[in-house]
């Protein structure tokens, strides 16, 4: 097991390196420059800026310099937010904003969608073809087909503008400010989890070992909780890897609609502003998270699926 984890981490390093190089080159080959502004900068000023950010050096030099700093955990200076380092934008020292917002939001979203999705999926599978099953399927279809870009403003209109129950946006760090963003984000993920859970549980319930268990005279409760649930949840877990990374690195639409200072908004701004260092920093973070979550998922497989041994 330990050997397996070590191997995975070693494989992750070249993957990350490749991500850095490709992103770095893509950013630099995109037309436009980070110092383009409506008012044309005097050539002297441009020269100072280019020098300060090492843009006057050859591209391979810049890449090497970046990777060297990255090894020390230094993501460089932002090109757009002058005077702020990428580290301080992604991981603000005050503890509010950037990654920390995304962590709180992402954790809530995951929690709500797993609890909601798994229980709805189980319920539907156990009461197959009943009214409940149809309701769950209808709910899932609705939540999957209504995009957050539509759902979020509708929730804002009803609960913030008309009813005045919840804030329409902003980040207060309190529970009230979290409700609408978490609900808007969770419904879609919960719906997918419910669908996966439903079909996987149905399949497991029809498999021979469940029949054996029934023949042995085990109670329905024991069959479901002890024997069926573990194998049925495996597909859900494999979906959770990328879902967790996505939930943590923020979702652009939700952050825009609710004005949350998370990573999603930063990503969009970094791309449009040609903020090379911020974009790279975010890509590295996202890739790292993706690798970590996939690793966690694979380790969980080992516990859930007796067929998998590391």
Partner 1 sequence: MMLKKFFYVAAIVLLTAGLLSGCGKSGSDQYAAAGKDTLVRGNGAEPPSLDPAIMQDVNSAQIAYDLYEGLTDFNQSNQPVPGIAQSWDISSNGKVYTFHLRPNAKWSNGEPLTAQDFLYSWQRTLDPKTASPYAFVLFPVVNAQEINAGKMPLSSLGAKVIDAHTFQVTLKRPVSYFLQVMTQPATYPVYAPSIKKYGNAFVQPGNSVTDGAYMMAAWVPNGYIDLVKNPYYYDAADVKIDKVKYLPIVDTNSELSQYKSGAIDVTYTVPVDQYKQIAKEYPTELHTVAWTGNYYYDFGLLHAPFKNNLKLRQALSMTVDRDAIATQVLGQEQIPMYTMIPSDIENGAFSALKPYEWQSLPYAEKVSEAQKLFAQAGYSTTHPLNVTISYNTNDIHKKVALAIASMWQQAFGSAIKVELNNQEWSVIIQAKNKGDFQIMRDGWIADFDTADNFTELLMCANPQNTSHYCSPKYDQLINEAESTTNPAERVKLIEQAQTLMLNDYPVIPLLQYTYFRLVKPYVKGYDPTNNHLDHVHSKWFYFDYGK
Q: Which residues bind partner 1 (CB under 8 A)?
A: 31-33, 36-42, 44-45, 48-49, 52, 80-84, 89, 92, 94, 96-98, 101, 153, 156-158, 160-165, 167-171, 255-262, 265-266, 269, 272-274
Give the span between the Cα atoms of 117 and 193, in whole angstroms: 5
Min CB(147)–partner 1 separation in Å: 15
As measured in angstroms, the least distance from the Cβ of 113 to partner 1 is 23
Q: Which is nearer to partner 1, 32 or 73 (CB)?
A: 32
* Cβ nearer to partner 1, comparing 101 with 116: 101
Judged by CB, which is closer to partner 1: 102, or 140? 102
For the bound state, the minimum distance from the C-beta of residue 123 to partner 1, rounded and expressed in Å, comes to 27
d(CA 170, CA 178): 9
Rank residues 53 and 239 by Cβ distance to partner 1 and give the closer one. Answer: 53
- To the nearest 10 degrees (0 to 180), the angle between helices 98-126 and 234-248 is 150
Q: Which of residues 231 and 261 has its CB atom nearest to partner 1 in the complex?
A: 261
What string of H, E and C letters represents the secondary structure of 273-290? CCCHHHHHHHHHHHHHHH
Q: How far is the CB of 286 from partner 1 (least distance, A)?
A: 17
Q: Which residue has the tokens 């702020």?
A: 84
For residue 50, give Cα distances in angstroms to 22, 31, 36, 57, 281.
22, 16, 12, 9, 20
- Between 21 and 41, name the residue whose CB sits nearer to partner 1: 41
142 alpha carbon, distance to own chain's centre: 22
Q: How far apart are CA 278 and CA 267, in angstroms?
A: 8
Distance from C-alpha of 106 to C-alpha of 247, rounded to nearest angstrom: 5
What is the smallest separation between the CB atom of 10 and partner 1, expressed in angstroms? 35
Cα 92 from chain centre? 19
Residue 179 Cβ, how far from partner 1 at the closest point, in Å? 14
The minimum distance between CB 69 and partner 1, in angstroms, equals: 17
Closest CA to 35 of 85, 88, 89, 78: 78
Query: 70 vs 160, which CB is nearer to partner 1?
Result: 160
Return phi, psi of residue 77, to 5°: -100, 145
User: What are the structure tokens assigned to 201, written together?
Assistant: 């549980």
């Amino acid at each position: 097991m330990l050997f397996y984890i070590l191997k995975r981490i070693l494989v992750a390093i070249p993957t990350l390196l490749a991500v850095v190089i490709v992103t770095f080159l893509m950013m630099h080959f995109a037309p436009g420059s980070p110092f383009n502004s409506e008012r044309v900068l005097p050539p002297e000023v441009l020269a100072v800026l280019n020098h300060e950010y090492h843009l006057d050096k050859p591209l391979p030099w810049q890449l090497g310099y970046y990777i060297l700093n990255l090894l020390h955990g230094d993501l460089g200076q932002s090109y757009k937010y002058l005077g702020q380092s990428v580290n301080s934008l992604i991981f603000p020292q005050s503890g509010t904003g950037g990654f920390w917002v995304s962590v709180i939001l992402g954790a809530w979203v995951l929690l709500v969608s797993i609890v909601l999705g798994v229980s709805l999926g189980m319920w539907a599978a156990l009461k197959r073809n009943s009214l409940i099953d149809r309701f769950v399927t209808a709910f899932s279809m609705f939540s999957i087909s209504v995009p957050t870009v539509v759902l979020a403003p509708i929730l804002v209109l009803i609960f913030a503008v008309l009813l005045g129950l919840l804030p329409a946006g902003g980040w207060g760090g309190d529970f009230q400010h979290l409700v609408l963003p978490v609900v808007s984000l969770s419904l879609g993920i919960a719906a997918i989890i419910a669908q996966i859970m439903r079909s996987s549980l149905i399949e497991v319930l029809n498999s021979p070992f469940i029949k054996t268990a029934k023949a042995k005279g085990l109670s329905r409760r024991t069959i479901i909780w002890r024997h069926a649930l573990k194998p049925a949840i495996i597909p859900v877990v494999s979906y959770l890897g990328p879902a967790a990374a996505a939930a943590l690195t923020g979702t652009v639409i939700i952050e825009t609609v609710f004005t949350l200072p998370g990573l999603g908004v930063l990503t969009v701004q970094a791309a449009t502003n040609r903020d090379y260092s911020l974009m790279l920093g975010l890509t590295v973070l996202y890739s790292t998270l993706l690798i970590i979550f996939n690793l966690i998922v694979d380790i969980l497989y080992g516990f859930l699926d007796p067929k998998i041994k590391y």
